[in-house]
Amino acid sequence: MNSQDRQARIIAAALFVSLFFVWGGGYNTSPVFLGALLKAFGWSHSKVSWMPSAIILAVGITGPLAGWLLDRLEARIVMGVGAALAGASFIAASRATSFTELLIANLTLGVGLGASAWLPASVVIANWFGERRGTALGLATAGMESGGMAMAFMTGHIISQSGWRAAYFALSIPALLLVLPLIAIVVRTRPAGAAKQKAREPGQALPGYEVREAIRTRVFWMLAGAQLTWGLSAGAVIHIVAYLTGIGYTMSFATTVFAILAGLAALGKPAMGMLGDRIGGKNALGIALLLIAVSHILILGAGHGWVIMPYLLVAGASIATPSSLVPLVLAEAVGLARFGTLYGLMQVFATSGLFGGPLIAGQLYDLTHSYATGFEIAALIAVAGAVAAFLCIASQPFRVAAIAEPQAIDSAYA
C-alpha cells in the first residue's frame, strides 16, 4: 500500500465518522423526533412532517452550490463551515418554542448538512478512489445509517429521560467538538497530484464532460428520474415509528425497529456497492429500487409480528443504497472533471423526492387515517425508479469537452 492509498483510507474513515454524527444525528433521527413532537405539541401528522422535509429541502437547495464550491475550494473549508452550522442548528432547535422557530432551525440544519455530509463526502470519495469506487462509497457513506442507528437509540433514551430539547442539544456536542476538528485536520478534496479545474476553462488533468455536455446525455436524466423516485419512495420511511405505534406497538419497540433498520442499511450500502462494482452501478441501483418496493409491501403486514424481520432484511439491504450507488453511476457515465457540480445538480432530484415523500405520506394519513395507501403508492414509485435506473445507458453528448480518457468513462456502458 502506497502513501496515497493510505491517505485515501484515512480520509474515508474520517468521512465515515463525520457522517455518523452529523447526518446520522441530524436527519436519520427524524422519525424519533417526529413521534416526540407529535406528543409534545399535538400537531397533525402533515404538519410535523415539515420538520424532516425542511431539512431535506435545505439540503437540496444547498447541494448545487456546495458541489460548485467543491470543484473550486478545498473540501475541508466547505465541510467545516457546514459542520459548524449543523452544530449551531442543533442548539437552536433545543431552544425553540414554536413551530416557526423549530422549522427555521431545521432549515438551517439542512444547509449545514448539504455542505458537510452526503454530497461532499461522495465527491471526495469519488476523487480518491478509482477501482472499487462503489465499495468505498458504500463503506464511507454507511456512516449515515450507522450513526442513525446509534443516534436513534441515544436520542430515544434522552427523550424518555430528559425530553426532546435535551436530545437536540446532545447532538450538537459531537458535531462541534469532534467532527469539525476532524474535517479540518484530515479531509482533502483530491490527491495532491490531481489538479483542480478552473472555472470556464476545460482542463486535461481530470477526465470527464463539462456540465453543458453532461446534461445533454440520456443517462443524466434517467439517473435524475431514479433519484427523484427513490426520494419519494424512501421518504415514507420517516413515518415508520409513528406507523408502528399507531398499530399497537410501544414507542420503545418502534424506535428499536427503526434503529435496527438503520444498522442493517449501514451493512446494505457496502454490500450493494460491491455488487455495483461487479455488475455495474445502474444494475445494482435498479435492483435496490425493486427491493425498496418489496419492503413497502411487507411493512403493510407488520400487524403480524413475524413480518417485521423479513421487512428489516429487505429494507436494510436497499433503502439507503441509492445514495452510494448514484455517485458511482454518475462518475462512470460523465467522469470527474465537473463531478462536484453535476452531483450537486443530481442531488436536487433526490432531495426533492425526500422532501415530498414524508409530506405526501403524512397528508394521505390525515385523509385516510391509515398509512396503507402511502406505502402502496411508495412501492409503485420505487418500481418506476427501477425502470429508470435500468435505462441509464450512456449516449454520446452533442459535443464533448475536456475528455482526457473517454474510453475509461464509457467502458461500463459500452
> How far is Cα 226 from Cα 221, in angstroms, rounded to an integer?
9
| pLDDT band at 194; cut points 50, 70, 90 | low
Are 49 and 362 in contact by the 8 Å Cβ rule? The answer is: yes
pLDDT at 380: 95
Task: For each of the domains in the chain, give its residue range(s) and CATH number, in order of start.
Answer: 3-190+204-413 (1.20.1250.20)
Q: Could you tell me the pTM of the whole model?
A: 0.72
> How far is Cα 334 from Cα 69, in angstroms, rounded to an integer?
19
What tens digit of pLDDT does each residue of 38-66 get? 888 888 777 887 888 888 889 888 888 88
pLDDT at 263: 84
What tens digit of pLDDT does each residue of 290-340 get? 999 999 999 999 988 899 999 999 999 999 888 888 888 888 888 777 878
The C-alpha cell 441530524 sits at: 26
> How far is Cα 255 from Cα 4, in angstroms, rounded to an integer?
41
Residue 235 or residue 46, greater confidence: 235
Angle (CA) 211-216-220 rounded to 5° is 80
